[in-house]
Amino acid sequence: MSTDTDAADAENELRERITNFLRRNFPQIQMHGGSAAIAHLDREKGEVTVQLGGACSGCGISPMTIQAIKSRMVKEIPEIETVHADTGASAGADGDLGGTSSGGGMSPSFPGETTDDDGGDDEGPQAPF
Please give the pLDDT value at position 88. Answer: 72
| Residue numbers in the chain where pLDDT is lower than 70 | 1-2, 89-129
CB 61 within 8 A of CB 86: no
Please give the pLDDT value at position 91. Answer: 43
Query: What domains, with CATH codes, occur in the chain?
Result: 1-84 (3.30.300.130)
Helix (H) or strand (E) holding 4: helix 2-25
> DSSP 3-state assignment of 119?
coil
Please give the pLDDT value at position 95. Answer: 35
> DSSP 3-state assignment of 97?
coil
> DSSP 3-state assignment of 35?
strand
- Please give the C-alpha separations between residue 100 and each of 38, 43, 104, in angstroms, as whole numbers: 22, 30, 8
| β partners of residue 53 | 35
Strands 82-86 and 47-54: parallel
